[in-house]
Amino acid sequence: MEVHIGGRIANVELISKDGNNVVIRIDDKEYNLDVVMPEAGVCSILHNSKSYNAEYKRKDKSYIVNTQFHSFPVEIVDSQAKYLRNRKKEDVDEQQDRIFSPMPGKIVKVLVEKGQEMHAGDAVVVVEAMKMQSEYKVKRDCKIKDILIAEGDTIDGNQTLVTLE
Amino acid sequence: MEVHIGGRIANVELISKDGNNVVIRIDDKEYNLDVVMPEAGVCSILHNSKSYNAEYKRKDKSYIVNTQFHSFPVEIVDSQAKYLRNRKKEDVDEQQDRIFSPMPGKIVKVLVEKGQEMHAGDAVVVVEAMKMQSEYKVKRDCKIKDILIAEGDTIDGNQTLVTLE
Amino acid sequence: MIKKILIANRGEIAVRVMRSCKEMNIATVAVYSEADRTSRHVLYADEAICIGPAPSKDSYLVIDNLIAAAKQTGADAIHPGYGFLSESSDFARRCAKEGIIWIGPSPEAMEMMGDKITARKTMIEAGVPVVPGVQHDLSLEEAKKVIKEIGYPVIVKASAGGGGKGMRVIRKDEEIEEAYNTAKSEALSSFANGTLYIEKYIENPHHIEFQILGDNFGNVIHLCERECSVQRRHQKIVEESPSPMMTADLRKDMGEKAIMAAKAVNYSGAGTIEFLVDDNKNYYFLEMNTRLQVEHPITEEVLRIDLVKEQINVANNLPLRLHQEDIVQRGHAIECRICAEDTENNFMPSPGIIQQLTEPLGIGTRVDNYVYEGYEIPIFYDPMIGKLIVWATTRAYAIKRMRRVLFEYKITGIKTNINYLRRIMDASDFLRGKYDTGFIEKNSEFLLDEHYEGSQDETEDIAIIAAYMDYILNLEENATKTTDNRVISKWREFGKRNAMLRI
Amino acid sequence: MIKKILIANRGEIAVRVMRSCKEMNIATVAVYSEADRTSRHVLYADEAICIGPAPSKDSYLVIDNLIAAAKQTGADAIHPGYGFLSESSDFARRCAKEGIIWIGPSPEAMEMMGDKITARKTMIEAGVPVVPGVQHDLSLEEAKKVIKEIGYPVIVKASAGGGGKGMRVIRKDEEIEEAYNTAKSEALSSFANGTLYIEKYIENPHHIEFQILGDNFGNVIHLCERECSVQRRHQKIVEESPSPMMTADLRKDMGEKAIMAAKAVNYSGAGTIEFLVDDNKNYYFLEMNTRLQVEHPITEEVLRIDLVKEQINVANNLPLRLHQEDIVQRGHAIECRICAEDTENNFMPSPGIIQQLTEPLGIGTRVDNYVYEGYEIPIFYDPMIGKLIVWATTRAYAIKRMRRVLFEYKITGIKTNINYLRRIMDASDFLRGKYDTGFIEKNSEFLLDEHYEGSQDETEDIAIIAAYMDYILNLEENATKTTDNRVISKWREFGKRNAMLRI
């Protein structure tokens, strides 16, 4: 089965499982492990007597896994997921047609004008939320279609701030 | 609905519920409350601005509820529970036919002999488990039928130590 | 004596104040917005009153609602914490008018320190060094003359400003005019007050502050310094006490000046004199915070005092319990601020539900917290979810302890700056104690390095295994689904089953 | 220098030792029985080795398995913690033979202090006061003569005994013969050794112990006293330091005797000299514990040292870092032992799964813990699940802080002695600091009073409401059941939904 972690695609196979004792192959490396989940979202792995812990949060087949001072996005790509992935790819590819803030806040700065040409990564607005200022950027080359807010405006979460084309 | 708490039987009725705002009558006292469950097994109750917390553990309709420095057994007796209760009452009434320890341990002392007449509350054996010694007592007047262990024996959890008649 | 205190705040500072109240047998009243019904401070308090909708301006900042809550519950004093209305002289004055004790300085002291120009004037009169500059409004021509006197670099600042707005650094003649004009227009549009002043610009200074404590009888002592130079965009991230750059002489000198500053405004209660210090140990008054500060615990740890208890004693009109000669720093304390933010994504706030939380414990560890498993961090307030404070006999041990404590702190469900803090504890400038307010910028690459510790491959494989095992167990569980309404989730049940028996 | 330590223990002490190792950059190896795979010490350590089945005698007490684990992981030292093999001179000797550093005293010192008669003889020779009595085996007739000399009350004790077995108090002539005979037969059957000795019986003495620290160069210092008189059946429950009955003179005197005691056996590392003290402040050597003790944190808090780090330094063959004149107690510390037990049911152990856990935090609070939400406390080991330690400037403040901390500690799923501890903090004998080892017995009625605080009716109604609301919400949830396999349980989801939206 494919597991995606960051940019890497790993091939993962469960060889055997007997109680806590699990043998897993990741790419060409075979791991002989003792695995338990002592707590919700916590995984303890013993490998060659080394004790590793990972905490994770799951959403369907996507995980955020924290290991010691690292945080990884991990995705399990089983046959069903593969199918959905392929379909999705055909549908939309990084389609971004608006700028919005997930949180309510205040518009600190509008950095663009209507009709302006943008490059991927260019900043559009600065929003203050939870006492922090954040820049919102465009993910692809595009053009500013409309600006729906002004500096100083109070905005709701998910409100469309700027439309793109 | 009947709610049993310790020796007391309280009559509890839900008058209304609107969001967190709950009106409950307990016996002849009406409570106007703000109730939320912030965490699994934790209940926060605001009553006349006073802030109360209760933590509880549930098993079917039986609860152990901890309030500030108190621990109460609480039982919800709905119609189904009432029916079961009545049936159970006919069946067995504090029937105790053996002495056992819920934990594995060691027999420290046997305080009785075969055939001995016992009064409710008399001690039968002393068991050491989790480094603590505990006396096990009979709950009703009875007679020692058989003693299946000796001092110094290691015992399993739930092993019958002494039978009663 | 005060019997019941309303805490006009939320989050960790509300809980922290209540802890001390509880230890003094003083009843506590929490106030909460509609978004905060499940916040720990509500659960912790003896009483709790809802004071309005989620946005601060409709709840935590509404003086009328706070006063009404105090009246309703019969609170005889209000503790404002930090932030919100803690520096509002209007609130302090209103409390006095309503016969409620304000746990803080007089409104007059707050006002004198609240306005930058008045504060500066007062400090000059009191003999406290200030940054060279001119404090009254200047025309462009006057500004040019002053700049010539002071020498570059200089900064133009809005008198009413804060948070970097209406500020411009000027390094050469050609920059003066544009800087002056933009600062003026920003000041006008942001604060409706175009008054500007000009100061010597201290390049990457040290931010060092002195805690002071005064009573209602004219006694003022200082409680030594806190080093707060680890800042990102003027937000403190890590603080320590003592400051690695401090000497006994400088401490005595700055401490005396801090006392003079506080006495100049008849200060009573706990407050902080912030100084800028340059590399030659020249120091300048920056501002006074007329309230408790986020980083107050490090002072508490090196001096082993409870600042909230001292505040309450002063509010009770008691003379100071401590004398200057009692104040001896012992050992070393460090504080890290834990924030719900995505350090790898421009420090964007990351609110959400806390799925799993393990807080560090054990020797030398203090956690000032308020969140818990299952709690949803609201989107309306500050992203700081708690503070880790360690104490140890030496600075080197304190850093090692902080590393241990950061290792123990585990949280899932939201993103935090724990990894980032851990890297600060490994940055060589920090380790050597040779850093100033330029630290974060200078070390930004190291602090955000993704390939930071250990083999990336190995830890990646561990992450893969954890996710994969969870996935497999889900499949199994779905196949053998039972109706299960126990409170302990099936995940925990699995953990148990797996450990004690066999899968 | 030691690079990797195997901790031959489990539970809170294993985690506590690992915390200090981590702060010294020393790698840690956990050992665990099959029942302990999910115990925190396994998750905390860098490495973990299974050493056998659940019963201690098949795992934690098997020297061969521990040595094998150390060999396999390349640990260069073993820390035994307390309990299990911590006082086994065989284990210490075996470590030496295998070239593994034993973090503890020499096997010879352990043996001299391990046998009561040898220890007593050594102490008399060293000039340390012992309870008046006779240390060699006595016939009944000899016993009668000795008793006449010492005066009533006296106690006959099995030389090899412990835990109250083979002990009898004699208060008058007529009791001698029966007491002698039963003690002898108990001693024979329990310990296969009928040797008895006779001592003056100190009625309800104070149990006061001195922490000592020695190095491999003959230096020994004492770290002042701990008051451990709050005991139930010889089990300590609450400890504090300083002792409320201690004076500076007595401390100096007992401290010097404690040092003499330790020097008499060339003691190296951390150890404790236990004394019995009568109401007239006469004190007598009771025994020496040749290991770290459960209650060591209160010494750490009043002296602000880390005893585990000091142990490791001594094992590294370093001279003591501290000198006697450095040792000054500051403030007051109290420890409460949290046990999974049913205080209302004869203190029966109460193992089980921890459903919900909130540990106290904040100023002056230390928690030495090892359990967590979802963890199942195994049935095989000690019921102690953690220790709460507070420090404050005075004893009165420390008690108030302990009350606050006990208020914050919330646990469901198992029964604990929290309520009982809370009552101890309210018992007037404890508050006045006027108590001895008779405290628990004398106050048992007060400590177990069910109608203890507040209106029973009101708190009963709160309990009813909580259960009833849960019941109602269950009905609702069952009616609107959705397939929900999110990790956060529906209970939490409810809490969230309820708080943020509406039911």
Rg, chain B, Cα only: 22
Lowest mean pLDDT among C128-132, D50-54, D454-458: D454-458
Q: Which of D153, D168, D269, D149 is nearest to D221 (CA)?
A: D269
Give the separation between CA B35 and CA B44, rounded to whole angstroms. 6
Could you tell me the pLDDT band of residue D116, with boundaries at 50, 70 and 90?
confident
Cα separation of C348 and A102, whole Å? 11
> Would C115 be classed as within a structural domain?
no
> Which pLDDT value is given to residue B94?
52
Phi, psi of C146 (to 5 degrees): -60, -45
Name which of D497, D493, C467 is nearest A58 in CA terms: C467
pLDDT tens readout for residues C262-271: 999 999 999 9
Class of the CATH-defined domain B96-164: mainly beta
- So which residues of C are the catalytic ones? 291
Round to whole Å and give the CA distance between C229 and D246: 45
Whether residues D397 and D485 fall in one domain: no
Both C372 and C438 in a single domain? yes
Record the tokens describing residue D173, joined without a space: 């002539």
Lowest mean pLDDT among A19-33, C33-47, D165-179, D221-235: D165-179
Specify whether D194 is located in the same domain as D212: no
C467: containing domain? 461-502
Residue D356's nearest CA partner among D338, D368, D374 is: D374
Reported as type and span, the H/E element at residue C28 is strand C27-32
Give contacts of C499 with chain D, Cβ < 8 Å: 37-38, 376
Indicate where chain A has its CATH 3.30.700.30 domain(s): 2-77
Distance CA C195, CA D420 (A): 64
Interface probe for D, chosen from C16, C326, C363 (most Cβ of D below 10 Å), is: C363
- Which of 3.80.10.10, 3.30.700.30, 3.30.70.1230, 1.10.3720.10 is the CATH number of A2-77? 3.30.700.30
Whether residues D496 and D480 share a domain: the answer is yes
- Say yes or no: D181 and D235 in one domain: no
DSSP state letters, D266-303: T--EEEEEEEEE-TT--EEEEEEE-S--TTHHHHHHHH
Residue D71, pLDDT score: 98
Question: C214 and C294 share a domain?
Answer: yes
In a domain, C416, yes or no: yes
Q: What are the structure tokens assigned to C42, written together?
A: 């509500």
- Give yes or no for a contact between C200 and C130, defined as CB atoms under 8 angstroms apart: no
Do residues D301 and D217 both lie within one domain? yes
Nearest Cα neighbor of C65 from C44, C34, C41 is: C34
Same domain? D160 vs D209? no
Q: Which residues have CB under 8 Å from C159's CB, separation 6+?
A: C115, C116, C117, C137, C187, C193, C195, C196, C197
d(CA D169, CA C178): 96
Same domain, D213 and D166: no
Q: Domain holding C303: CATH number?
A: 3.30.470.20
Which pTM was predicted?
A: 0.88
Would you call D183 helix, strand, or coil by DSSP?
Answer: helix
The DSSP element (H or E) to which D500 belongs, if any, is helix D490-500
Q: Tell me: do C193 and C260 sit in the same domain.
A: no
- Domain closes at, from D141, D174, D200: D200
Pair (D344, D426) in one structural domain: yes
For residue A36, the chain C residues in CB contact (below 8 A) are 495, 498-499
pLDDT at residue A6, rounded to an integer: 79
Which of B15, B64, B74 best probes binding to D when mutated, by most D CB atoms within 10 angstroms?
B74
Q: Do A44 and D43 touch (CB under 8 A)?
A: yes
Element (H, E) at B10: strand B8-18
- Given an 8 Å threshold on Cβ–Cβ distance, is C16 in contact with D363? yes
> What whole-number distance in Å separates Cα of residue C204 and Cα of residue D98?
57
Distance from CA of B164 to the nearest CA of C (A): 33
**Residue pair C131/C275 in contact by the 8 Å Cβ criterion:** no
Top pLDDT among C216 and A87 is at C216
For chain A, say whether D34 makes contact (Cβ under 8 Å).
no
pLDDT at C466 over 90: yes
Q: Which residues, 6 or more positions from C193, have their beta carbon under 8 angstroms from its beta carbon?
A: C158, C159, C160, C187
Among D386, D390, D426, CA closest to D410: D386
The predicted complex's ipTM stands at 0.85
Q: Where in chain A is the domain with CATH 2.40.50.100?
A: 96-164
Quick: pLDDT tens for D88-97.
Answer: 999 999 999 9
Question: Which portions of chain B are predicted below pLDDT 50?
Answer: 91-93
> What are D323's two structure tokens?
């000198």
Asked if pLDDT for residue D491 goes beyond 50, the answer is no
Q: Is the pLDDT of residue D302 over 50?
A: yes
Give the β-pairing of C410-412 and C376-377: unpaired
Cα separation, C418 vs A30, whole angstroms? 32
In a domain, D55, yes or no: yes
Q: How confident is the model at residue D318 (pLDDT cuts 50, 70, 90)?
A: very high
* Cα dihedral B108, B114, B116, B121 in deg (nearest 10): 40
Kindly list the residues of chain B whose beta carbon comes within 8 Å of any beta carbon in chain C: 20, 34, 36, 38-41, 44, 46, 49-51, 53, 57-58
What total of structural domains would you count in chain D? 5
Instruction: Specify whether the CB–CB gap between C157 and C165 falls below 8 A.
Output: no
Q: Taking CB atoms and an 8 Å limit, are A36 and D374 in contact across chains?
A: no
What is the residue type of A40? A
In a domain, C125, yes or no: no
The rounded distance, in Å, linking the Cα atoms of C169 and B21 is 56
Dump the DSSP string for D414-473.
S--SHHHHHHHTT-HHHHTT---TTHHHHTHHHHT-SS-SS-HHHHHHHHHHHHHHHHHH
D127 is a domain residue: no
Residue C235 to chain A, least CA–CA distance (Å): 10
Q: Does residue C111 sit within a domain?
A: no
| C81-93: average pLDDT | 96
Nearest to D387 by CA among D420, D427, D359: D359
CB D65 within 8 A of CB A42: no
- The whole-number pLDDT of residue D496 equals 39
